[in-house]
Amino acid sequence: MSRDRAVLEQALERGEQDGGNVEFKERLLESVHLEGGRRESLAAQLRHRVLSGDGEATYVIGVTDDGGLAGIDANTFSESMDVLSLLAEEAECHIADVETWGVRGGLVGVAMIQEGAVLETDDQHVVIGTAGHVDHGKSTLVGSLVTGRPDDGDGATRAFLDVQPHEVERGLSADLSYAVYGFDDDGPVHVRNPNRKQDRAAVVEEADRLVSFVDTVGHEPWLRTTIRGLVGQKLDYGLLTIAADDGPTRTTREHLGVLLATELPTIVAITKTDLVDDDRIESLVLEVERLLREVGKSPLRVSRHGVDAAIDEIGETVVPIVETSAITMDGLDVLDELFDRLPKTSSDEGAFRMYVDRSYSVTGVGAVASGTVMRGEVEAGDSLLLGPMPDGQFREVEVRSIEMHYHRVDRASAGRIVGVALKGVKEAEIERGMVLLPVDAEPVPVRSFEAEVMVLNHPTRIGDGYEPVVHLETIGEAASFSPENGRLLPGDRGKTRVTFKFRPYLIEKGQKFVFREGRSKGVGTVTDVFPVD
């Protein structure tokens, strides 16, 4: 067994008692336990167990009535959890946590059932995408925001977001990471330990308003990962960090270009102000203001004009600037107030859509597709389409369950970063760039499209056959360009046909994208699509 068995052993030791809160079930099957009057009877039993435990019950799945470890196969365990979720809902309760272990006969699990409906997420949940050069303090700043703790000067709070061992060792983030905190009437609701999924889930449950961060990558070799984080998520705002002891770099300008290409309302955070004197801060702010004006934006110093002005003015042309230090915590109260009061910018309108950013497999649950809900709403039990597959076809799947920051929810709407457990597909078949849609959507796969593009940087000219990587939503695929007039020069705007090299995707008019190849970069908007024959 891969985890400590204490929770399981304690439940088995307590055993089933008439007045206790522990229940043993070998399996729960839809065809057996939800038919006739059994659903109502089992829901009443569950309710009794919860009331006996002062609002919490423990269900042990995969054991016999006398507590013997029988074990069940993964599919049966997953079905048992689906049935248990329905019984809990019937009893006005919810599954708060599940732990599983492998035994000789298959799986055994412990589910904690708590009184009350499952979390209803706040419609004003705001999602922030970070950007900025390596070592300019993105992850450290986010870590201090979500925990409410100052950094120690060696990136202690950054470690809450670096998700791979080599990232922690090197002090560099190499993939997207996620964080969450929230607000209630008393102010920020911080995460006690972001590395504990229970603590992150507690914030989701307790806060009246949630703020999620998609923390991107600052090191130049991973620019494509940063683009994926900023283009492929349903973001409300961008947060661009610039270190006071370094200033704007080429990477800073590239990240700013991506933020502007996506038309994302953006805040600039000057970080590490504790390392420099007031004169250096003033000269840096003036430099940042010039940089913003060069790209057609109006800078707004929050220290001079106030938070109210920043909230009123932020948008298509105005970029607020905040001076911060994760060590002294200067300026973090300003960011707290901004994130607490800024309105949500993305819309829930339209049918459900989620582009897949990651996929993984969970023991006892199966394949999980992770991403940001772009629009609409999804519920556990929904039938969806997943695709396109490499052959252009879409496959029907069923939503087993939904998790948001490790908290199981019944439904999720636009802007939520979620993991959707799917029935009807293997994890190996799910690829980044695929999309989840309603079963009646009638999607059309696209291999080629027309676009209006602007070349931000290129050493010579772009001609027929130019092959950059196109980043659109969570898609990152090599494509061939065919410019309308045969070529595009640096700074040019023009039309081009774009054809993916390897497979089709779901592409629509109006979608924005970034393309890059080496030091060559540009942005574009889809103006027409050519469906696969």
Per residue in 15-65, pLDDT tens? Answer: 888 889 999 999 999 888 888 788 889 999 999 999 999 889 999 999 998
Residue carrying the six token digits 């369950």: 401
The residue among 110 and 262 whose pLDDT is bigger is 110
In sequence order, the 6+-apart residues with CB closer than 8 A to the CB of 60 are 8, 11, 12, 22, 23, 24, 25, 67, 108, 109, 110, 111
**217-269 pLDDT tens trace:** 433 333 344 444 444 456 788 899 999 999 998 888 877 877 766 678 999 99
Class (C level, CATH) for 126-341: alpha beta
pLDDT higher than 90, residue 91: no
The pLDDT assigned to 451 comes to 93
Q: How far is Cα 45 from Cα 479, in angstroms, rounded to an integer?
A: 58
pLDDT bin (cut points 50, 70, 90) of residue 436 is very high
Ramachandran region of residue 491, left (φ > 0), alpha (ψ -120 to 50) or beta? left
pLDDT bin (cut points 50, 70, 90) of residue 181 is confident
The domain locations on the chain are 6-115, 126-341, 353-438, 446-531
Instruction: Look at the domain 6-115 and name its fold.
Output: Translation Initiation Factor IF3 (3.30.110)
Query: What value does the mean pLDDT take over residues 392-404?
Result: 90
In sequence order, the 6+-apart residues with CB closer than 8 A to the CB of 280 are 244, 245
Q: Minimum mean pLDDT among 24-28, 87-91, 299-303: which range?
A: 87-91
The pLDDT assigned to 460 comes to 67
Give the burial string for 133-143 (b: 16+ CB within 10 Å, else e).
bbbbbbbbbbb
Q: What is the CATH number of domain 353-438?
A: 2.40.30.10
Query: If you write DSSP's letter for every residue of 48-82 in order, what string do you get?
Result: HHHHHTTSEEEEEESB-TT--B--B-HHHHHHHHH
pLDDT bin (cut points 50, 70, 90) of residue 179 is confident
CA nearest neighbour of 83 among 8, 7, 24, 32 = 32
The pLDDT assigned to 278 comes to 95
Query: What value does the mean pLDDT take over residues 290-302?
Result: 91
Q: Minimum mean pLDDT among 210-219, 389-398, 411-420: which range?
A: 210-219
pLDDT bin (cut points 50, 70, 90) of residue 523 is confident
Query: What value does the mean pLDDT take over residues 468-479?
Result: 89
120 HSE (CA, 13 A, CB side)? 4
pLDDT higher than 60, residue 208: yes
The phi and psi torsions of 392 (rounded to 5 degrees) equal 90, -5
How far does CA 186 lie from the centroid of its chain?
26
Give residue 141's identity as a one-letter amino acid code: L
pTM for the full model?
0.56
Common-topology check for domains 6-115 and 353-438: no
H or E element: which one contains 523?
Answer: strand 520-531
Domain 446-531 has CATH 2.40.30.10: yes
Q: How far is Cα 109 from Cα 102, in angstroms, rounded to an integer?
A: 9
